[in-house]
Structure 1
């Protein structure tokens, strides 16, 4: 094995959909890549689908199951060909992928039912199309002595079946476990200056396309960083870092200059959409720092995430997840008997839905339902309620919000809450904290969530 100082120095740059969807974006990307090359790095670029394309492909998949997809398919083809024209690239570069996309849509139409496998295959074309243009543009714009190589992420990362995972998760929320490959890192460095691959997609052991879950491009970037044992991972997006809360929901939000892996993980788990939690759990063992920056303002300082963690007595950030389907199961006198719990979780598994146990008593369970990676529509919640009612005395469905305080011990956060000299909502539906004691969460009415967020941010963030 080569020594650390003899290994090639890689930086991994992930660009989200809002960062790759115009000529101006790509001129910024060329400059960012060039700056890193000038600093002596080899550069690995992880590329998302163009903005909103993944959502449109999800819609295409649903329409194809009803053989009503032709109009949207034509729009998607036209959109990508227009992007090629904006980047002054030959649209023929896209022809193989567009033909294959049409074949996949036809396959869904012939099948008549949208399965997890077919959905993954079809939705993956967003990244394959955009990254093909991205690699060609970099090759065209970088100096002639710099070699750019497009790589298929499905050849790089093979998913592993998690214990008790359902078919839906295996195709739409897949998990890989990459390890540093110093031989591959050296091989690439000897042949290329820049490699470009896709976010969000991988393959399974059968060679079928799988997806890494919504917002999975962050996860892909961390996989590449781990594979290359990169010097740093930069997440380029449309905001310059992580904030004390979502700046789109509260204008008073303040940017965080530095946070620890653990704090960033808690924020991501609690709903901070800038970063996917799996991204951090992958790079943390290899001490790879992560920086979040704004593609549209590349000179602005971002947020650095690393292993530096300082004890704090104050709340550092407040995250909010809204419109969460929450099931309250009243189990009756038999309560949480093993056979009852087994039946409950079997129902979730049969419907290919995820769930998170938020709270429990002797005779009740409060569970959040995860539908973002499901192939089903909202009507699946009604079916879930009906099936659960067969084994429970009562099932109550509501749409709630979870507000999470991150940055200090939960007991300290609770003390700060008690000092607030203002009228808080009468009904806090849930109070919980994790074993790490690094966050405190409340389940509240979705209608009250933003008012509570503003109140707490004003009193708790220093």
Structure 2
């Protein structure tokens, strides 16, 4: 790492969709930026699409297949024009991106099929539209004394072709591997006080637009932090940190003041939605601390994530994923033969679906299906079942929940679990633990999941 005294000092601020969708939000953002500038650091902002716009664009791309997208396209256009008006900006700033969006929608209609490449081109417009307004508003509020620059993230980050990725992943769940660029950080520091770019989007070697997976703005922020070898990465969202469990599902959830990279990574991997796990793996090598804060209450302390942490004897947090499609495959005696497993994973790859092997015996596999980055809807699960049935004795599809205990060794977590003097579910499946041994997961009925979460939180969190 370069000597701090020899390189410019940058702070990276990521603002999610719930943090950029009103004039009040932007007044808060201006104050946050000014506070950082007054401390003598340069500011890099990673900007998400406005709240719910990404979902609307996903729907727009689907409707475009049969040329029924006009009404929704008009709604999206009107919404952004109203946002421009709310920020007292000239709506003509949006014209190039609105024209580009309309052209992308037309390409889907002409093609008659929604591919991952066409989907990425449409969905990326959420960040391009919002960040254009955000950069202009910020420039006007900061005035001529501060130089603000809008940058296209697709020119900053190029995805790396992964040999094992299917086409769907290459366009919708792309991966970049940025490295510190001290000359770039120096050049930006000499020319700009604030740079603003988009989250969620990048390009590939052919110059095509790719996406970094859902919630990918966190990942983008970590890429910028790594590129600049930033002093700090701040994730501004609608909650003031990470909690012992999802506060939207359990009122008793407690805020964590500080956790280690490893613990935060385990929580993110297990389904905690505040951070994307790829965000953590990018900044960890450079020891860049992360702080999660609430844009709507900027003075409230958040959660600091850094390298400081020690082994604990107690569970620190409980993560939950609900409505997880789970396939149980009964394969017969040849279930664990390499050729059988290869056929199973080939089917997933052909349908452009991700999967996680959760548990196995000599004759069965239990697999969670990842559909969030698929170009298909839930109906693809039926197609998956039909194809797998060709090589299995039977295929069972259910929607379950995964509950994960994070913070201490899996054997210690299991010991605490066995001490609970309360009625636990009659059946649950031990899924396993990671190589770090700080993670113990169970598959439970989705209907019982919240009751189980409440019981475990009461007995295991101190």
Determine helix, strand or coil for the equivalent of 2:448: helix
Q: Distance in 2 between the 1:171 and 1:431 partners?
A: 30
Which residue of the partner structure matches residue 70 of structure 1?
70
- Partner of residue 369, structure 2: 369
For residues 34 and 459 of structure 1, the distance between their equivalents in structure 2, rounded to whole angstroms, comes to 44
Q: CA deviation at 1:3?
A: 4.1
Would you say 1:44 and 2:44 are equivalent positions? yes
Q: Which moved more, 1:425-434 or 1:368-377?
A: 425-434
> Counterpart of 2:175?
175
> What is the match of residue 136 of structure 1?
136
Task: State the match for 2:313 in structure 1.
Answer: 313
SS at match of 1:447: coil
Separation of aligned partners in 2, 1:372 and 1:96:
29
| 2:158–2:205 Cα contact (<8 Å) kept | yes
Structure 1 partner of 2:453: 453
The match for 2:300 is 300
Determine if contact 2:266/2:406 at 8 Å carries over to the other structure.
Answer: yes
Q: Secondary structure at the match of 1:411?
A: helix
**Structure 1 residue 430, shift from structure 2 partner:** 2.9
The corresponding residue for 1:27 is 27
Q: 1:16 maps to which residue?
A: 16
TM-score (norm 1): 0.99
Partners of 1:335 and 1:57 in 2: CA distance: 41
Residue 58 of structure 1: how far off its partner (Å): 0.2
Residues 263-304 of structure 1 show CA distances to partners (whole Å, capped at 9, x for unaligned) of 000000000000000000000000000000000000000000
The answer for the alignment partner of 1:406 in structure 2 is 406
1:352-396 CA distances to partner (integer Å, 9 max, x unpaired)? 000000011111111000000000011100000000000111111
Q: Which moved more, 1:326-335 or 1:266-275?
A: 326-335
Offset at residue 2 of structure 1 (A): 6.9
In the alignment, the residues of structure 2 paired with residue 99 and residue 147 of structure 1 have an alpha-carbon distance, to the nearest angstrom, of 28
Contact 2:11 2:42 in 1 (8 A): yes
The secondary structure found in structure 2 opposite 1:301 is coil
Match of 2:355?
Answer: 355
Give deviations 1:317-336, integer Å, cap 9, x for gaps.
00000000001111112121
Separation of aligned partners in 2, 1:146 and 1:154: 25
Alpha-carbon separation, structure 1, partners of 2:169 and 2:334: 31
Deviates more, 1:411-420 or 1:214-223: 411-420
Give yes or no for the alignment of 1:443 onto 2:443: yes
Residue deviations 1:30-82, cap 9 Å, x none?
Answer: 00000000001100000000000000000000000110000000000000000
| 2:314/2:408 contact within 8 Å kept | yes
Deviations along 1:154-210, one digit per CA (max 9) or x if unpaired, are: 000000012310000000000000000000000000000000000000000000000
Q: Which residue does the alignment assign to 2:95? A: 95
Give 1:435 shift.
Answer: 2.1
2:109 is equivalent to residue 109 of structure 1? yes
Does structure 1 retain, via aligned residues, the 8 Å contact 2:358–2:431? Answer: no
Aligned pairs for 1:330-341 within 5 A = 330-341=330-341
Q: Give me the whole-angstrom Cα distance separating, in 1, the residues matched to 2:237 and 2:220.
A: 15
Match of 1:222 in 2: 222
1:265 is the counterpart of 2:265: yes
Q: 1:213 to 1:2 in 2, by over 3 A?
A: closer
- What's the CA shift for 1:431? 4.1
Q: Provide structure 1 residue ranges, at least 5 long, that are not aligned to the other structure.
A: none
Q: How does 1:315-330 map to 2 (within 5 A)?
A: 315-330=315-330
Does 2:151 align with 1:155? no
Secondary structure of the residue that 2:326 maps to in structure 1? strand
In structure 2, the partner of 1:243 is 243
1:4 aligns with 2:12: no
Aligned to 2:345: 345
Q: Return 254-263 or 325-334, whichever deviates more.
A: 325-334
Indicate conservation of the 8 Å contact 1:430/1:444, yes or no: no
> 2:357 is paired with a residue of what secondary structure?
strand
* CA positional deviation for 1:310: 1.4
CA distance in 2, matches of 1:180, 1:19: 28
Shift of 1:432: 1.7
- CA distance in 2 between counterparts of 1:265 and 1:111 reads 40
What per-residue deviation string (whole Å, max 9, x for no partner) do you get for residues 12-45 of structure 1? Answer: 0000000000000000000000000000110000
